[in-house]
A and B are shown apart, each in its own frame.
Chain A
Amino acid sequence: MADSSPRITPEAVAKVARLARLDLAEADLARFAEQLAGMLAHFADIDALDLSTVEPMTQPYPLVNVMRDDVVSTSLDRDEVLAAAPAAEDGRFRVPPIIGLEG
């Protein structure tokens, strides 16, 4: 079978980790690169399929535009929700500065 799957380099893995907001150590990046390459090689089994006329399937049961009636109902208790957060203040979630030190 022709190997059409792209090689996944530690640099590519580092980029994916950034996209996924995961600060991974160098050793983890190397290990994940090797494991992901192994998986992607296995997943090349579908490369030979002719899928040009096949419609993608995203949901098993066709339901569209499911909406509820526009009536007031109770929602979660704000204090109970905020009590579960790592930090809260004045009825809101508290986070570190959003404008960071690096880009």
Chain B
Amino acid sequence: MTTAPVSVAGIGAAVRSGEVSAVEVLERHLAAIDAREPDIHAFNLVTADAARATAARVDADVAAGRDPGPLAGVPIALKDNLCTRGVPTTCSSRILEGWRPPYDATVVRRLAAAGAVFVGKTNLDEFAMGSSTENSAFGVTLNPLDTSRVAGGSSGGSAAAVAASFAAASLGSDTGGSIRQPAALCGVVGVKPTYGTVSRYGLVAFASSLDQIGPFTNDVRDASIVLEAISGHDPLDSTSIPRGPVTTTEVLDRGVAGLRVGRIVDLPGGSDPEVEQRLAEAFDALRAAGATIVDVELPSMKFGLTAYYLIAPAEASSNLARYDGVRYGMRVDAPDTNAMYGATRAAGFGDEVKRRIMLGTYALSAGYFDAYYGKALKVRRLIHDDFDRAYAQADVLLTPTSPIVAFPVGAKVDDPLSMYLCDVFTIPTNLAGHPAMSVPFGTGADGLPVGVQVLAPTLGEPVMFQVAAELERAAAR
């Protein structure tokens, strides 16, 4: 009897070959949820019954000689801003409480077609706005490695679900770091693919020019397998790049000899000393494995935060106009529609969402458009062009994922700006539309995990994974 598989790759192979059953794999994960979910609160909803039915179907397929697909029996958790037909999708907001979408997101359909078993919908900062999953209408998600600390955000539930072995993989969405930052804080792998690589159809929109769906997993190979399953053109998303799925698994063992790894000499400061130390060790490890370290400049990177916090709220204020008490979710009754809109939105949205809608509305309003939104779009171009110059010299860039390790619950809730600074290293990637991923690389203060971020140019997923796999090997030594 071999030991029970825990990885996406291991579970998929073992279930397909009939070595273990999907039901058995699922029950192991459901038992973990039973044991620890009350202390962590990774989920808004655990769909145990539906998962059992799916797992039984996968096993029946295997028994009948039908291949359920590469993710056969793999338990996967979905961020609760991904639409699941007939299954409540809340975005952790009162305004969508009880809403059951009439369709599945494309990523949900693709994972289901590959044999995955969905265990539940994970908690997030309301409408994905936040860096700690404290802005949820349904309670805070705690870090499985230290439950006095946050799991990061906004995809904190998805990161915690993988870190606590509630699921072998999960999906999140990343608008300014919402996959990579919680991955770093929970000690798991998190990938933000190139904009347009993964269909956004069925992802509840936050900032449409920045949002991208991606996986959380325990290791780099698993992230590659899940990304391959969800990526590729989708006619239902008009920003989807017309190409096939990314292919990254085949490059994982190639090493980094001859690759050029960029060190950003004018990287914004303020990181924990241990975080800076881990980054230095990551460069050393890649150099030892045959890569060349090159210094690059990104002078506009420090303006990323400003550009992002004007552009993302502006897009959000437009996207969230649809929550008006007419077509879905809650309604506060009032004598006329205008009063109904105002009362519904005031009651349905939490503080951070209101703050960003206000900021975005202000930045787009007459008299301020050019001074704020217009200027932010030009800064976005500067950052994009800086990256272009850097990638003429380097194949990938390396930064910390987060300047700090997981912080105590409540430490930043009253200071929006200090919360926003958590994303200083992740935001520029979204503005440029590039891929980036966080790989666990040692620990920092109090033994908490540190993530190193690998950044690559548009459609540079293969070289990004190649480097991430090398970092993972180095971290294991």
Contact = CB atoms under 8 A, between A and B. Distances in A.
Interface of A: 6, 8, 12-13, 16-17, 19-24, 28, 32, 35-36, 38-39, 42-43, 45-46, 49, 51, 54-61, 63, 66, 68, 76-77, 80-81, 83-87, 93, 95-102
Interface stretch (B41-49, B70-78, B97-105): B97-105
Given A45-B306, A100-B337, A86 B329 contact: yes
Given A68-B235, A85-B327, A97-B335, A21 B345 contact: yes
Nearest to A97: B336
Contact of B417 (A16, A42, A81, A97): A42
Given A16-B365, A46-B307, A102-B336, 14 more contacts: A13-B358, A17-B358, A21-B341, A32-B354, A38-B416, A38-B417, A42-B306, A43-B372, A49-B303, A56-B374, A57-B431, A61-B458, A87-B331, A100-B337
A55 B458 CA distance: 20
B336 A100 contact: yes
A69 B195 CA distance: 24
B12 to A, nearest CB: 31
B423 interface: no
Given A20-B317, A59-B209, A86-B326, A36 B345 contact: no
Interface in B417-465: 417, 431-434, 458
B196 interface: yes
Given A16-B362, A61-B239, A68-B235, A46 B342 contact: no
The 6 closest A-B CB pairs, nearest first, are A60-B433, A100-B336, A56-B377, A86-B331, A23-B342, A57-B381
20 contacts: A21-B321, A22-B358, A23-B346, A35-B416, A36-B359, A39-B416, A43-B306, A43-B372, A46-B375, A46-B376, A49-B375, A51-B378, A56-B374, A56-B378, A58-B209, A60-B433, A63-B241, A66-B238, A93-B326, A95-B326
B195 A60 contact: yes
A21 B355 contact: no
A43 to B, nearest CB: 4
B6 interface: no
Interface string B282-314: 000000000000000000001101110110000
B330 interface: yes
B407 interface: no
Contacts of A81: 102, 327
Nearest to B432: A60
Contact of A95 (B235, B340, B381): B340
Interface of B: 99-103, 194-196, 209, 235, 238-239, 241, 302-303, 305-307, 309-310, 317, 321, 324-331, 333-343, 345-346, 349, 354-355, 357-359, 361-362, 365, 368, 372, 374-382, 384, 416-417, 431-434, 458
A45 B308 CA distance: 13
Most chain A beta-carbon neighbours within 10 Å: one of B317, B358, B434: B358
Contacts of A61: 194-196, 239, 241, 433, 458
Nearest to B85: A80
B352 to A, nearest CB: 10
A102 B230 CA distance: 49
B316 to A, nearest CB: 11
Contact of B349 (A22, A57, A63, A98): A22
Contacts of A21: 321, 324, 338, 341-342, 345
A46 B331 contact: no
Nearest to B374: A56
Contacts of B321: 21
A16 to B, nearest CB: 5
B425 to A, nearest CB: 17
Contacts of A80: 102
A96 B336 contact: yes
B377 A58 contact: yes
A33 B173 CA distance: 30
A51 B379 contact: yes
Given A16-B365, A43-B306, A46-B306, A24 B372 contact: no
Nearest to A24: B346
B362 A24 contact: no
A76 B321 CA distance: 21
Nearest to B333: A96
Given A59-B239, A98-B336, A54 B382 contact: yes
Contacts of A23: 339, 342-343, 345-346
Contacts of B310: 43
B328 A84 contact: yes
A16 B342 CA distance: 12
B376 A100 contact: no
Contacts of B384: 57, 60
